[in-house]
Structure 1
């Protein structure tokens, strides 16, 4: 036991080996216990975070735990500085690789959950795959740089070179990158999803596909509209699918010869007709104003449903009842009319006398009052 090998006794080597085996077994047991309890907890909860944590911890490698055990045992030995530095760097590198494996497993679990929830949305699944690829790439690049820095490599120049190269590449493909990040923004912010009916400027239709670069919409007339993701996010967008209720404003016009008492009876009639409808919240009905050829009334109400067909059914029923109500009251609906008043420029009998008078007076000169003619009004 007192024999010395590489500056350490046999007892020291056996003790270090025991520590290594003990630490490795302890890490294995801890992993199994933690994973077991987390799996039981994940079955009781609706959140997917604990399921992702289980998948990440299951990615812990036995080799990594063994290396950590060996490093723990090596700390008990009297090793040369170079060997001790090598053991320390090896442990750090293995730990960083294990951290990358945990992150990769967590991303894989998140993507699996996302695919399950978006089985009918291939566009969103594609964007999520792109997001996962970018996240994995960033993760492994960061881990690689940390490993190189741990091994004594000066990464300052490398990072600077990557930065300059990244700027050059970004400038060359800025339009593509703009659409890519716009796609990620659509995935994360969710201004719309596949199946929503949206209006973009003067275009409207149902969202069919959300890809890495474009979003495709099926218009009402049947053709497919293709929008760049970046341009789409810059536009004013109306998501009609997320409408909870619909505000309706319409006017009716009656003729000028409608008596005042009948005009006063029209707003109560409109109020009664609208309130009688189902899924409708009445707002107001007023004698709005006097137009060029009609007396105008305005009605405002809310349809408590976003369904356009339901809105049209209600509107049709209201208009038919308004027509019936006006006919019962003897009130006529107005239509655009104009009255043309023409001035009669033909000469009167008195003008004829003036124009046809005798004497020396010039033709066309009216007689003077001294001659007994009445002055022209």
Structure 2
């Protein structure tokens, strides 16, 4: 049967047709007016309110409202008021799904881009580098393609096409591809994780169990670090994230702890005075918060102090200069107090036996020597 025959079977009178056209026109005016009014209300918000997440996403998302979708929706509303015989009622239902699904996919497409852009702008602290741009693009691309894939499969299913086999084939093919390129995908997702979570950034000084240095570049597959010795170290992103990373750039304070050993023959009064005066020396240093100097260990060879202080500035050069000054002052203090840092002198007993002389006479003469190292 031709198209004219299908239209003849509709049996639509002039009154019903006029009513349907009126409903379609009225629907277009109301829907288009509501969208325009809502966009104007959002545009009239203050700068602070307009930059709120929901308002910002709605403003940019409604801007992608298609006039063609509004027109198609209005026509479908007008057609829906008619009493349509089969199979026209089913066909109109398919058109409803296609129209509303396409518009919803357009909104989600735009909302994903806006939301991802806001997330990277907030968590990137206003720093746009190549890594963030690439990660941003990859995330938006993956999410938007997911939206359109779901819409396409849903539309095919709504039209009565069995997509179960197709989806299963896609799943099996996806698993095969993922297994073939799992290392590349692992590094790619690791790069995305670095861009989003930001455990370190370009310019940060980091240390891992195998090396330490300054981050020069974070790519899609590898990260390049300039080691302290001068060479460039290239490591896969996934491998780097498996390690414990120490980020020194974000260190605000530095804790310094070391031990001091002195001769165990030191008088108790001098040992107590050493702890008190050494604490005063450390507390007097610039940008230093003194913690403690305590005698923690004593044996036959030495007595040991545990010394701890904190630097309010984590600069490594300041740490080296402060520690050097503390150690030099400690040496002067030991000299002034007459305290030795040498261990207790040890006695070594050496025994030897005289061998037989040339005439065969044996003379077993024991000789012993005691060696006492000077303190």
Fold conserved (TM > 0.5)?
Answer: yes
Q: In structure 1, how many angstroms separate the alpha carbons of the residues matched to 2:277 and 2:210?
A: 37
1:200 Cα deviation after fit? 1.7
The gaps in structure 1 that reach 5 residues or longer are 348-361, 366-377
Of 333, 337, 348, the residue aligned with 1:325 is 333
Alignment correspondent of 1:229: 237
RMSD: 2.9
CA contact (8 A) 2:120 2:196 kept: no
Alignment correspondent of 1:71: 76
1:289-311 Cα shifts (integer Å, max 9, x gaps): 34675443221122223222232
Q: In structure 2, how many angstroms separate the alpha carbons of the residues matched to 1:363 and 1:308?
A: 70
Q: In structure 1, how many angstroms separate the alpha carbons of the residues matched to 2:178 and 2:325?
A: 59
1:66 Cα deviation after fit? 0.7
Q: In structure 1, how many angstroms separate the alpha carbons of the residues matched to 2:363 and 2:10?
A: 147
Would you say 1:61 and 2:89 are equivalent positions?
no
Would you say 1:20 and 2:28 are equivalent positions?
no
CA contact (8 A) 1:267 1:286 kept: yes
Q: In structure 1, how many angstroms separate the alpha carbons of the residues matched to 2:85 and 2:312?
A: 81
Of 84, 87, 110, the residue aligned with 1:82 is 87
Alignment correspondent of 2:130: 122
Q: In structure 1, how many angstroms separate the alpha carbons of the residues matched to 2:36 and 2:323?
A: 66
Q: Indicate the larger mover: 46-55 or 66-75.
A: 46-55
1:113 Cα deviation after fit? 4.0
**Residues 1:93 and 1:31: Cα distance change in structure 2 (over 3 Å):** same
1:207-232 Cα shifts (integer Å, max 9, x gaps): 23222222222222232222212212
Alignment correspondent of 1:212: 220
CA contact (8 A) 1:7 1:78 kept: no
Alignment correspondent of 1:354: none
Within-5 A mapping of 1:1-377: 6-41=10-45, 43-45=47-49, 46-113=51-118, 117=124, 119-255=127-263, 258-290=266-298, 294-332=302-340, 334-335=341-342, 339=346, 341-342=348-349
1:170-208 Cα shifts (integer Å, max 9, x gaps): 121111122222223323333223332221212112223
CA contact (8 A) 1:127 1:211 kept: no
Alignment correspondent of 1:353: none
Alignment correspondent of 2:368: none
Task: Determine helix, strand or coil for the equivalent of 1:242.
Answer: coil
Return the index of the structure with the highest Cα Rg.
Answer: 1
Alignment correspondent of 1:352: none
Task: Determine helix, strand or coil for the equivalent of 1:8.
Answer: coil
CA contact (8 A) 2:263 2:344 kept: no
1:66-87 Cα shifts (integer Å, max 9, x gaps): 1111111111112232223222
Q: In structure 2, how many angstroms separate the alpha carbons of the residues matched to 1:174 and 1:213?
A: 12
Task: Determine helix, strand or coil for the equivalent of 2:136.
Answer: helix
Q: Indicate the larger mover: 334-343 or 253-262.
A: 334-343
1:258-310 Cα shifts (integer Å, max 9, x gaps): 44322221000111122223433322212233467544322112222322223
1:321-369 Cα shifts (integer Å, max 9, x gaps): 323333333334x35796554558799xxxxxxxxxxxxxx9979xxxx
The gaps in structure 2 that reach 5 residues or longer are 1-7, 355-360, 365-375
